[in-house]
Amino acid sequence: MRHGRALRTRRIRRSRHRAGAAVVAMGAVAALLGPLVPAWAAAPAAAAAPAYLDAGKPTARRVADLLGRMTLEEKIGQMTQAERAAVADDPGKVKTQLLGSLLSGGGSTPAQNTPAAWVEMVNGFQEQALQTRLKIPLIYGIDAVHGHGNVHGATVFPHNVGLGATRDAKLSERIGRATAEEVRATGIPWNFAPCLCVSRDERWGRSYESFSEDPALVSRMATVIDGLQGDGGREGFDDDEVLATAKHFAGDGGTRFDTATAEANKSKPWWEQKYTIDQGVTVTGKGDFARRHLAPYLPALADHRVGSVMPSFSSVDWTEDGVGNPVKMHAHRDLLTGTLKGKLGFDGFVISDWEGIHQIPDPDAPAETGLTPYKVRTGVNAGTDMFMEPNTSQQFQDLLLAEVKAGRVPQKRIDDAVGRILAKKFELGLFEDPYASPDDLDQVGSREHRALARSAAAKSQVLLKNSGRALPLGTKDSVYVAGRSADDIGNQAGGWTISWQGASGDIVPGTTILEGIREVAPRADVTYSADASAPVGDADVGVVVVGETPYAEGYGDVDGPECGWCGTSQHEEKSLNLQAADQAVVDKVCAEAETCVVLVVSGRPQIVADPAGRIDALVASWLPGSEGAGVADVLFGKKPFTGRLPVTWPAGADQVPINVGDADYRPEYPYGWGLRTGSHGVAADPATAALDRAQAAVLAGRAPSNWAELIADAEHARVAGDEVKARGLLARVR
């Protein structure tokens, strides 16, 4: 029995590879009812149903049969994905355009953002698809990147950077499982996750979507795919599993920061500013690219059998042929077809990112930012199978139809793309069960899932500093809590929550960190002052919760564009240094409190100034999600601190980019650093114990000057499976 299902005995799970029994049963019912059965239901007795409608036949046979019946227009329809909002006012477009897929972008929801409304909406669109000649069902997709964050009431898990801090591959799988249950419960069978990016520069606005700067750790956490897909990658999907998407193939986390763009942005209004690192260029040799950015895709494909892959917006510029000729990933036939589908043997389908082919440069129309015939044929011939064309689906279809008829896109390429898409629709059981059931809506935000999210939040906390054993706190202490993120669930959830960019404030159900403190330590005397304007008084300890406000993608780039349409708190300039107002709260509380604890709620490291050494404990809380009580659990010792840094914590913003393996590696805290508190009776494994001893030597001033390099290299070795090497490196620290 899978996680979260022990008490759900009322539910009958429909195993897709056994669905053929339903066809037999229907035939028996028709024989019994005789003339009472409508003519269409009795038809199979007179003529055999098409092979593609026979769930008992192999998927390959069903695909071949359906392909042979389809017109070119129908095939192109299957390759087209439109945005929900583009057809919401006229759902009939699904039928007239023969659309194969719809999606909800961040913040694109039904009018009433409830789980039941999602089911009704998806089924309404599906009804249109089933009115087409061949009745090919839609496949609906969504970005559920840290739980089903678009849906109000869903469980919001920590973002990937926090999960990377847990080092817990089984936890990653369980979170994938819970996410799949909530996504499928709302009628959606396809998730645009996980991000297998290897973030190498914290100035990137998507760095929190990365599990780590270390490809070995990203590879380890790819078990989330097994949670999302279950056995679907091998045996067909059950109705509480979803198709996963490994993204963004490849090198999205390795793009170079554009200093010229950053400087130009300073004199422009926000709507003219450009991204400084997101969607940029990864300049690299082919060997480094394979070892660093392709590496996580190897287990994703071979071990976890991920069903779809999304190319990156970014470009790659090989150093072997000279820098200066980058190729957009959406146009990179060698990587998409030659490497992904060829050498790596990927047999799922490739879905473009949002208007991804629009960014392919057209040599005949370099100023054109929309679609052109060149962009369409280049994207298709490069190897993308389905195209996310949110508001230009009809134009895409017209252009592709003309390119095929002109012979510039081979019919064989179209059949390959459509065959891959249809195979996943068959495996998902969409032909047998196209409509979503409301029976499992209680899975959304369930008690079991929230308990899992709380546990994940606790495991993700990284204790960077703990002078005088300031943590854990006493449950009867007098606690002064300050900071704008202490009682702000929107800040702790981050981007991709309810809307694309997220928002500060009370946007989702759950518990804030302050509420968690009061829940976990009900006998503590808790005073709260967001801006620290209230006197600290004789409080035993001050807890300051500061950090970043929500952002996503390029609007989170350091020195990038301001999100002008977002809430006021999100207008602040993105930086690796703590915001001035936050720093002022830290300074005030830590100057007055006997013991001062600072929690940094952020998607990336933040430089917290402490020249007087008044901060006793410093915690990287990341973006813990909707269950802030998990943070309080470790603050008060209900659970131990066990998290380790998934990325390097720089000593200053001028050190970035800085990563494990760099030649001159002297950060504030190295990759893998993380102090532990009470073991709760669980003995540390040898590698963890060795790291504890090494960190103790650093804190005691006994470590060699290259201690940070040794600890980071040891952690990389340990995560990669070489514990002997890891212990040898750590032995040199003490």
**For residues 26 and 523, which has the higher predicted lDDT (pLDDT)?**
523
Q: Compute the CA torsion angle 421, 423, 426, 430 (nearest 10 deg).
A: -10
Domains of the chain: 72-443 (3.20.20.300), 461-646 (3.40.50.1700), 648-734 (no CATH)
Give the relative orientation of helices 169-185 and 447-460 as an angle to the nearest 10 degrees.
Answer: 150
The arithmetic mean of pLDDT across residues 593-618, rounded, is 97
Q: Is the pLDDT of residue 11 over 60?
A: no
Residues near 219 by Cβ (< 8 Å), separated by ≥ 6? 295, 296, 298, 299
The arithmetic mean of pLDDT across residues 686-715, rounded, is 96
Q: Compute the CA torsion angle 711, 716, 718, 724 (nearest 10 deg).
A: -70
N- to C-terminal Cα separation, the chain: 46
pLDDT in tens, 235-267: 789 999 999 999 999 999 999 999 999 999 999
Q: Mean pLDDT, the chain, as a whole number?
A: 93
Q: What is the DSSP string of 624-636?
A: -TTBTHHHHHHHT
Q: Is the pLDDT of residue 23 over 60?
A: no
**Of 553, 562, 713, 715, which residue is the catalytic one?**
553
Share of the chain above pLDDT 90, in %: 91
Q: Is the pLDDT of residue 650 over 70?
A: yes
Q: Is 427 a catalytic residue?
A: no
pLDDT in tens, 389-414: 999 999 999 999 999 999 999 999 99
Q: Is the pLDDT of residue 10 over 80?
A: no
pLDDT of 34: 35
| For residue 148, cis peptide bond before it (omega within 30 degrees of 0) | no
pLDDT of 567: 94
pLDDT of 236: 83
pLDDT of 279: 98
pLDDT of 43: 40
The arithmetic mean of pLDDT across residues 13-30, rounded, is 37
Instruction: Give the burial class of 715: count Cβ atoms within 10 A of its Cβ; 0-12 exposed, 13-18 middle, 19 or more buried.
Output: buried
What pTM, to 2 d.p., does this model score?
A: 0.93
* Extended strands (E) in 438-521: 462-466, 478-482
Q: Using DSSP, state whether 328 is helix, strand or coil.
A: strand
Instruction: Give me Rg for the CA atoms of the chain.
Output: 26
pLDDT in tens, 443-474: 999 999 999 999 999 999 999 999 999 999 99
* Extended strands (E) in 79-125: 80-83, 101-104
Q: Is the pLDDT of residue 28 over 50?
A: no
Q: Residue 364 gets which letter from DSSP?
A: T
The arithmetic mean of pLDDT across residues 131-157, rounded, is 98
Q: Is the pLDDT of residue 49 over 60?
A: yes
Q: Using DSSP, state whether 720 is helix, strand or coil.
A: coil
Cβ neighbours, 10 Å, residue 624: 31
Q: Is the pLDDT of residue 22 over 70?
A: no
Q: Is the pLDDT of residue 662 over 80?
A: yes
Structure tokens belonging to residue 632? 């309080």
Q: Does residue 172 contact residue 226 with C-beta atoms inside 8 Å?
A: no
Q: Is the pLDDT of residue 622 over 80?
A: yes
Task: Tally the residues of the chain.
Answer: 734
Q: Which amino acid is at 382?
A: A
Task: Give the separation between CA 604 and CA 546, rounded to whole angstroms.
Answer: 13
Task: Give the separation between CA 16 and CA 268, rounded to whole angstroms.
Answer: 55
Share of the chain above pLDDT 70, in %: 93
Structure tokens belonging to residue 391? 């508001």
**Of 54, 173, 238, 353, which residue is the catalytic one?**
353
Residue 704: phi and psi, rounded to 5, are -70, 170
Q: Residue 102 gets which letter from DSSP?
A: E
Residue 441: pLDDT band (50, 70, 90) is: very high
Structure tokens belonging to residue 246? 């490994």
Task: Give the separation between CA 272 and CA 268, rounded to whole angstroms.
Answer: 6
Instruction: Give the burial class of 701: count Cβ atoms within 10 A of its Cβ; 0-12 exposed, 13-18 middle, 19 or more buried.
Output: exposed
Q: Is 353 a catalytic residue?
A: yes
Q: Beta strand 349-350 with 308-311: parallel, antiparallel or unpaired?
A: parallel
